[in-house]
Amino acid sequence: MRGNNRFSILIIWFTLLIGLCVQIIPWSADYNILKPHLLMLIMAYWLIALPHRIGMGMAFILGIVLDLFSGSILGIHAFIFSCMAYLLLFKFQLIRNLALWQQAIVIFAVSLCYNFLVFMFQVTIYHTITISPLILVSSCVDGLLWIVIYLFLRIIRRNFAIN
């Protein structure tokens, strides 16, 4: 039982590492608005599915790591991921019992909050306004991709008996 516990934590960390690697891949300026926040989506799945395994502390650490790899000011993504984790953990039982399309709407809203907080930090720190109505496209991509991420990670969780 103890070995399975460590193995399941390694699987969770591995999926988060894949999400981080995809998140830091640079995209061209034309397609950057379509870039999904894959680390956020994978973290959201584990927060909803197994809140006792991954919590706000893990979200904070992942945010710090994303700040280090993306070159942003240290603590921005850590704060945003912590806020997102709080929102998801506060109502994880409700979100878990929603239909998949309703969960996609919740993730769309969380992605909008993520994009808005990034915008607010840019305005506050860099004094530049870089917002576009296309920001909704990025959140829609996250909402639609949630369905795929959810189904894929649920298969992984069940095949490896991660509890």
> What tokens does 136 get?
């909704």
Q: Is 73 inside a domain boundary?
A: no
Integer Cα distance of 31 and 102 in angstroms: 27
Q: What is the pLDDT along the chain (163 residues), one digit of tens a residue?
A: 455 778 889 999 999 999 999 999 988 877 878 889 999 999 999 999 999 888 899 999 999 999 999 888 889 999 999 999 999 999 888 999 999 999 999 999 999 999 889 888 888 888 877 667 777 888 999 999 999 999 999 999 999 988 8
Nearest to 111 by CA among 145, 155, 65, 148: 145
Q: What pLDDT, on a 0 to 100 scale, did the predictor assign at position 108?
A: 95
Q: Is 59 inside a domain boundary?
A: no
Q: Is 144 inside a domain boundary?
A: yes
Q: Is 114 inside a domain boundary?
A: yes
Q: State the total domains in the chain.
A: 1
Q: Is 74 inside a domain boundary?
A: no
Q: Is 67 inside a domain boundary?
A: no
Q: Is 19 inside a domain boundary?
A: yes
Q: Is 61 inside a domain boundary?
A: no
Tell me if the pTM is above 0.75: yes
First to last CA, the chain: 11
**153: domain range?**
2-25+33-52+92-159
